[in-house]
Structure 1
Amino acid sequence: MSHITDPYHFLQIHLNPDGTITRLREDPRASPSSSDPTLPVLSKDLTINQSHNTFARIYLPRKALDHSPSKRLPLIVFFHGGGFIFFSAASVLCQETCSRMANDVGSIVVSIEYRLAPEHLLPAAYDDAVEALHWIKTQPDDWLSQHADYSACYLMGSSAGANIAYRAGIREAAGGLDRLRPLTIRGLILVQPFFGGTTRCGSERRLENDAVLPPAACDVMWELALPVGVDRDHEYCNPTGGKGDGRLERVGRLGWRVLVTGCSGDPLVDRQVEVAKMMKERGVEVVGHFTEGDSHGIQDRDVLKAKELYGVVREFWASEA
C-alpha cells in the first residue's frame, strides 16, 4: 500500500474546475546573465514564438569569446524536466543546471521554454521542441553563428525533458536530414528519461513509496499531460508498448548515437532500461550508463553528481567513431 495518500498534495498542485492547475510549489526565476562579463558562462534570451510565449535561453562559455571563430563548440539543445507540468527555462534550477553544463562539458547550450500541461496537453511540448530546432537553424544570433558547431548538435533532456528530446528526435529523423540543415543532429542524451505505462514495472513496485518520485505522483503527471482519451500505454508515455512505425530504425540508419542514463534508486529505472533495449533492437547505437543508488533528479541537487554526469557526456562524445 502506497504511503502517498494524495498525490496532488505531494506534488503541491490544485486541480481547477477548468482543467488547469494551480502550482503551489515555489519556482524562483533567474534573469539571463549576459551583462556580467565576470561569470564563466554568459546567457541571454531570444524569442521563438511570441504567441506561445516560447523562447530560448542561450548559454555561452565566456572563454569561447577568447578563441577564434574557427574553434567552435558542440551545440546542446536542452529540455528541462518537471513532469511536463513544472518549471521553466527561466527557473533558477534550470539556469544553474545549464550554466554548469555549458562550463563543464564545454558546449553552447540552448535551453528551450516549452508550453506546460495541463494548460497545453501533449504533443504541445513536442511541437515546441521541433519548432525550436527549425528556429535555431535560421537564427542569425552571433553567439550561435560565430561559436556553435552546427555539425555537432545533440538533443538533451532530463526526466520529462528527456522524453521531449526523444520524441522530437524521432520526429525529425522521420522527416529527413535536409529539413534542419545546416544543423546536424549527432545524437540524443537522455538523462533519467520520464516514461511510464499502465502496468507497474519492477522498479516502480520496488520503490512504490519513493520520497522523490513515487509512481502515484507520476500517474497524476501523466494524466495531466497526455491527450484526452488515451491511457499510459500511449506511445508518448510508453514507447515500448507498440510494434514501432519505422522511425527508430531511421534514427539508426542516420547514425545517431543515444546516451541513456539512470540509477537503481529511481522508480523509472526499469522503464529506462527497457527503452534503451528497444532502441538497440531496432538498430540504434545506444550507450547505457546506469549506476547504483541515488534517486531521480540527483544531478539537480548534488553538484558532484552533476559533474559526474557531464563527465559521462564528454566520454560519450569522445567515444564517437
Structure 2
Amino acid sequence: MELPQIDPTADPCGYLGIIRNPDGSITRTLKLPQCPASSDAAVLSKDIPINKETNTWARVYLPRRPESSAAPATKLPLLIYYHGGGFILGSAAALFIHKLCCEIASEIPAVVVSVDYRLAPEHRLPAAYDDCMEALEWVRSTGEEWLTDFADLSKCFLMGTSAGGNIAYHVGLRAVTCGDGLVPVKIQGLILHHPFFGGVERTPSEVRLANDKVFPPCVADVMWDLGLPIGVDRDHEYANPMTADKSHDFEKVRDQGWRVLVTGCEGDPLVDRQIGLVKMLKEKGVDVVSEFSEGGFHGVEHFDDSKAKILYNVVKNFVLSF
C-alpha cells in the first residue's frame, strides 16, 4: 500500500480522494485495490452476507490446517475485525485489509471475521456501530460451519484499526451490557490498534505533528465532520471518550474480566489521545495492556512489513494469554 502523493495539509479532501457533494454525500475518487476472497496456501476466506437490506457482509478467514476438512479437537480463538478509513473510506475487500486479516488468522492462528459496514457521510455514526453490533449478533446465531466447527466462540476478541479501533471500543461497550444475550459468544478482550479518537481542543501530539504527512489533524477533522451526526462537534462521545460517563459500563468490563490492548506509536498525532484512553481505563479498574513504539506513523503496519510482524506477535501474545 502506498500513500497518496498529495500534501494532506494543503488539500485534505484531495489527499483522501474525496469530493464533497451539495447533497451531503461524497464522491470517492481514490480507488483502493480490491481483493476477492481466496484459497491461498495458508488461509481460506469467503464472503457471507449479513444484512441484504443494508448491504453489509463479512469476510471470514480460516487458517488452512491438515485437519481442516473436519472439526478439530481444539477450536481456534475468534477475532472480529473492523477496518479503518475514518468512517468514510475502506472495505473488508481492500487488498491491504485482506492481507492483514490473512496474516493475523495464520499467525495466531484464529478464525477472523472482517466486517464490511456502511460508510459515512451517507450513513453517519452510529450506523457503523449498529452494523458492527449486528455482525456480532450474526456471529452468535449463524450456522456458518467455519464458525460452528472451527471457532471457539467463548474466546472472542473485537479488534479494529484506526476508525475500526473506535468501533471496537464502542461496540464493546454496547456488548458488555448484553449480559448472556450474546451466548455462546463470550468476549474476552478488545484490541484497539491505533484507535481513532478526537476532541475540539488539540493535544500536544496533535500540535507537534500538525504538519504530519500521513495523518495530520486537518485530515482527521474532515473525517469527523463527515462521520459524526450532523450538528455535533468532536467532543461528542463517539469521538471523545473523555466526555461521556461510562463508569457503569467500565464496571461491567472489569467484572467480566475483559482485557483491553491498545497499540500506538509516537509518530501518530493521535498518540496522546490513545495514552489518555489507557490512563482513563486503568483509573476505572479495567485491565489494560499498552504497546507504544518509537517513531512510526498512523497505520504504519499497513506500509511496513517489519512493523506488521511486530503487531501480529503482540496480538498473538495477547489472544493466547487467555
Q: Aligned match of 1:86 in 77, 89, 93?
A: 89
1:198-232 superposed Cα distances (whole Å, 9 cap, x missing partner): 00001100100111101000000000000011100
Partner of 1:4: 9
Within a 5 Å distance, the mapping from 1:213-228 to structure 2 comes to 213-228=215-230
Runs of 5+ consecutive residues of structure 2 not aligned to the other structure: 1-6
Once residues 245 and 73 of structure 2 are traced to their aligned partners in structure 1, the CA distance between those partners, rounded to angstroms, is 45
**In the alignment, is residue 257 of structure 1 matched against residue 259 of structure 2?**
yes
> In the alignment, is the contact (CA less than 8 A) between 1:21 and 1:118 conserved in 2?
yes
| One-letter identity of the residue aligned with 2:58 | A
Q: CA deviation at 1:141?
A: 1.0
Partner of 2:305: 303
Which deviates the most, 89-98 or 266-275? 89-98
Which deviates the most, 234-243 or 209-218? 234-243
Q: Aligned match of 1:117 in 115, 120, 130?
A: 120
Which deviates the most, 3-12 or 45-54? 3-12
Within a 5 Å distance, the mapping from 1:76-225 to structure 2 comes to 76-176=79-179, 178-225=180-227
CA RMSD, Structure 1 to Structure 2 (Å)? 1.4
Partner of 2:51: 49
Once residues 106 and 5 of structure 1 are traced to their aligned partners in structure 2, the CA distance between those partners, rounded to angstroms, is 43
Once residues 141 and 66 of structure 1 are traced to their aligned partners in structure 2, the CA distance between those partners, rounded to angstroms, is 15
1:238-275 superposed Cα distances (whole Å, 9 cap, x missing partner): 00123335212211111100000000000000000001
> In the alignment, is the contact (CA less than 8 A) between 2:83 and 2:163 conserved in 1?
yes
Once residues 161 and 126 of structure 1 are traced to their aligned partners in structure 2, the CA distance between those partners, rounded to angstroms, is 10
Once residues 23 and 186 of structure 1 are traced to their aligned partners in structure 2, the CA distance between those partners, rounded to angstroms, is 36
Within a 5 Å distance, the mapping from 1:285-300 to structure 2 comes to 285-300=287-302
> In the alignment, is the contact (CA less than 8 A) between 1:253 and 1:283 conserved in 2?
no
Q: CA deviation at 1:3?
A: 7.7
Partner of 1:23: 28
Which deviates the most, 236-245 or 101-110? 236-245
1:7-55 superposed Cα distances (whole Å, 9 cap, x missing partner): 212222110011000111121221111xx4x521010011000011100
Runs of 5+ consecutive residues of structure 1 not aligned to the other structure: none
1:76-100 superposed Cα distances (whole Å, 9 cap, x missing partner): 0000000001110111111111111
SS in 1 for 2:120: coil
Once residues 286 and 263 of structure 1 are traced to their aligned partners in structure 2, the CA distance between those partners, rounded to angstroms, is 17
Which deviates the most, 233-242 or 113-122? 233-242
Once residues 203 and 303 of structure 2 are traced to their aligned partners in structure 1, the CA distance between those partners, rounded to angstroms, is 26
> In the alignment, is the contact (CA less than 8 A) between 1:82 and 1:159 conserved in 2?
yes
Q: CA deviation at 1:317?
A: 2.8
> In the alignment, is the contact (CA less than 8 A) between 1:162 and 1:193 conserved in 2?
yes
> In the alignment, is the contact (CA less than 8 A) between 1:75 and 1:107 conserved in 2?
yes
SS in 2 for 1:262: strand
Once residues 110 and 8 of structure 2 are traced to their aligned partners in structure 1, the CA distance between those partners, rounded to angstroms, is 42
Partner of 2:4: none
**In the alignment, is residue 233 of structure 1 matched against residue 235 of structure 2?**
yes
Once residues 313 and 35 of structure 2 are traced to their aligned partners in structure 1, the CA distance between those partners, rounded to angstroms, is 26
Once residues 17 and 175 of structure 1 are traced to their aligned partners in structure 2, the CA distance between those partners, rounded to angstroms, is 40
SS in 1 for 2:237: coil
SS in 2 for 1:153: strand
Once residues 226 and 98 of structure 1 are traced to their aligned partners in structure 2, the CA distance between those partners, rounded to angstroms, is 27
Once residues 18 and 39 of structure 1 are traced to their aligned partners in structure 2, the CA distance between those partners, rounded to angstroms, is 46
Once residues 276 and 72 of structure 1 are traced to their aligned partners in structure 2, the CA distance between those partners, rounded to angstroms, is 31
TM-score (norm 1): 0.95
Q: Percent identity?
A: 52
> In the alignment, is the contact (CA less than 8 A) between 1:104 and 1:307 conserved in 2?
no
> In the alignment, is the contact (CA less than 8 A) between 2:62 and 2:110 conserved in 1?
yes
> In the alignment, is the contact (CA less than 8 A) between 1:78 and 1:109 conserved in 2?
yes
| One-letter identity of the residue aligned with 1:286 | V
TM-score (norm 2): 0.95
Q: CA deviation at 1:319?
A: 3.7
Q: CA deviation at 1:278?
A: 0.7
> In the alignment, is the contact (CA less than 8 A) between 1:57 and 1:110 conserved in 2?
yes
Once residues 164 and 170 of structure 1 are traced to their aligned partners in structure 2, the CA distance between those partners, rounded to angstroms, is 10
Q: How many residues align?
A: 315
Once residues 317 and 147 of structure 2 are traced to their aligned partners in structure 1, the CA distance between those partners, rounded to angstroms, is 24
